[in-house]
Amino acid sequence: MANALKPRNQLAVVAPRRTAPQASFSDRIAAIAELGAGTVAAERCAIAFPAGGAGGSEVVCAPRGESRWDKVVNAVLVALENRLGDAVAGYGLKRARGTPGSIESIERVALNAREIDAIVRVEAMDGRQIAASAFTDGVSAVRIAMVARADRARGELEASLELMARAVFGEMALAAARGSLEFWRTHGAESGRQAIDARRELARERAATNHLDKAVAAARRAQPIERFGRFGELVAAGAGFDQWLVAVADGGALTVAASSSGHKEFDLGETGSALGESFRRRIVIARWRDRDAATVDRANQSSEDRMFRGSYVCIPFEGGAIALASRDGRASAARAEAIVERLAPLAANWVMEREAARRDLLVRQLTLRMFAAIDEERARIARDPHDDQAQLIAAVKIALDGRREAARSIFKQVEEELRRKTRELRPVTIADASLDAAIEGEFARLHRAGVTAKLVHSVHDGAAEKISRPVQQLCFQVVRETLSNVIRHARAKSVEITIDSTDAAARVSVTDDGCGIAANLAGEGTGLAGVRERLELMGGSLRVESQAGRTTVIAEIPESA
CATH, residue 26 = 3.30.450
CB 233 within 8 A of CB 218: no
Residue 348 DSSP SS3: helix
Query: What's the mean pLDDT in 442-461?
Result: 85
Give the domain range for residue 548: 435-558
Q: Please, how many CA atoms are within 13 Å of residue 461, restricted to the half-sphere of its CB? A: 6
pLDDT at residue 22 tops 70: no
Q: Is 405 a member of any domain?
A: yes
Q: Are residues 511 and 491 in the same domain?
A: yes
Better pLDDT: 224 or 172: 172
pLDDT at residue 160 tops 80: yes
String of DSSP letters for 17-41: PPPHHHHHHHHHHHHHHHHHHHHTT
| Of residues 168, 121, 173, 128, the one with CA closest to residue 148 | 128
Q: Are residues 163 and 240 in the same domain?
A: no
Q: Is 350 a member of any domain?
A: no
**DSSP category for residue 299:** G
Q: Tell me the residue ranges of DSSP E strands in 267-379.
A: 285-287, 311-317, 320-326
Predicted confidence at residue 403, as pLDDT, reads 57
Predicted confidence at residue 405, as pLDDT, reads 64
Q: Are residues 169 and 236 in the same domain?
A: no
Q: Is 311 a member of any domain?
A: yes
Q: Are residues 400 and 481 in the same domain?
A: no
Give the chain's mean pLDDT.
Answer: 76
pLDDT confidence tier of residue 188, bands split at 50, 70 and 90: low
Q: Are residues 366 and 443 in the same domain?
A: no
The kind and range of the H/E element at 544 are strand 541-547
Question: Rounded to whole angstroms, how far apart are CA atoms 474 and 478?
Answer: 6
Question: Rounded to whole angstroms, how far apart are CA atoms 454 and 437?
Answer: 13
**Interacting residues of 129 by C-beta distance below 8 A, sequence separation 6+:** 147, 148, 149, 150, 152, 157
Q: Are residues 35 and 89 in the same domain?
A: yes
Question: Rounded to whole angstroms, how far apart are CA atoms 284 and 6?
Answer: 33
* Cα radius of gyration rounded to whole Å, the chain: 37
CATH of the domain at 474: 3.30.565.10
Question: Rounded to whole angstroms, how far apart are CA atoms 32 and 338?
Answer: 29
Query: What's the mean pLDDT in 120-128?
Result: 74
**Interacting residues of 285 by C-beta distance below 8 A, sequence separation 6+:** 274, 275, 277, 278, 313, 314
Q: Is 420 a member of any domain?
A: yes
Q: Tell me the residue ranges of DSSP E strands in 319-426.
A: 320-326
Angle, in degrees to the nearest 10, between helices 333-387 and 188-221:
20
The pairing of strands 452-459 and 494-501 is: parallel
Buried b (16+ CB within 10 A) or exposed e, 448-460: eeebebebebeee
Question: Rounded to whole angstroms, how far apart are CA atoms 515 and 489?
Answer: 8
Residue 435 DSSP SS3: helix
pLDDT at residue 293 tops 60: no
Tell me: the pLDDT tens digits for 531-554?
Answer: 787 787 777 888 888 888 899 999
Helix/strand/coil percentages in the chain, nearest 5:
50, 20, 30
Neighbours of 72 (CB within 10 A): 21
Q: Are residues 420 and 294 in the same domain?
A: no
Predicted confidence at residue 533, as pLDDT, reads 74
Helices (H), 268-332: 274-281, 303-307
Query: What's the mean pLDDT in 47-54?
Result: 78
Better pLDDT: 190 or 458: 458
Q: What is the pTM (predicted TM-score) of this model?
A: 0.35
Query: What's the mean pLDDT in 180-199?
Result: 69
CATH of the domain at 237: 3.30.450.40
Q: Are residues 138 and 256 in the same domain?
A: no
Q: Is 261 a member of any domain?
A: yes
The pairing of strands 311-317 and 285-287 is: antiparallel
Q: Is 15 a member of any domain?
A: no
Tell me: the pLDDT tens digits for 211-258?
Answer: 667 766 776 776 777 788 888 888 888 888 888 888 888 766 778 888
Q: Are residues 113 and 260 in the same domain?
A: no
Neighbours of 81 (CB within 10 A): 22
Question: Rounded to whole angstroms, how far apart are CA atoms 316 and 8?
Answer: 37
Predicted confidence at residue 143, as pLDDT, reads 93
Predicted confidence at residue 182, as pLDDT, reads 77
Handedness of CA 387, 391, 392, 393 (dihedral sign): positive
pLDDT confidence tier of residue 139, bands split at 50, 70 and 90: confident
Residue 79 DSSP SS3: helix
pLDDT confidence tier of residue 13, bands split at 50, 70 and 90: very low
Q: Select from 169, 186, 203 the last residue of a domain.
A: 186
CB 510 within 8 A of CB 476: no
Q: Is 204 a member of any domain?
A: no
Q: Is 205 a member of any domain?
A: no
**Interacting residues of 123 by C-beta distance below 8 A, sequence separation 6+:** none
Query: Judging by beta carbons within 10 Å of its beta carbon (0-12, 13-18, 19+), is residue 475 exposed, middle or buried?
Result: buried
Q: What's the domain count of the chain?
A: 4
Q: Please, how many CA atoms are within 13 Å of residue 420, restricted to the half-sphere of its CB? A: 6
Q: Are residues 491 and 531 in the same domain?
A: yes
Q: Are residues 68 and 172 in the same domain?
A: yes
Question: Rounded to whole angstroms, how far apart are CA atoms 470 and 199?
Answer: 67
| Of residues 441, 444, 397, the one with CA closest to residue 416 | 397
Tell me: the pLDDT tens digits for 324-348?
Answer: 898 776 788 888 888 888 888 888 8
**DSSP category for residue 116:** H
Question: Rounded to whole angstroms, how far apart are CA atoms 188 and 185?
Answer: 6
Q: Select from 402, 425, 448 the last residue of a domain.
A: 425
Q: Select from 425, 452, 479 the last residue of a domain.
A: 425
Cis before 224 (ω within 30):
no
Tell me: the pLDDT tens digits for 465-482?
Answer: 567 788 888 888 889 889
Q: Are residues 440 and 404 in the same domain?
A: no
Predicted confidence at residue 309, as pLDDT, reads 72
Q: Which of 44-53, 219-228, 318-327 has the lowest mean pLDDT?
A: 219-228
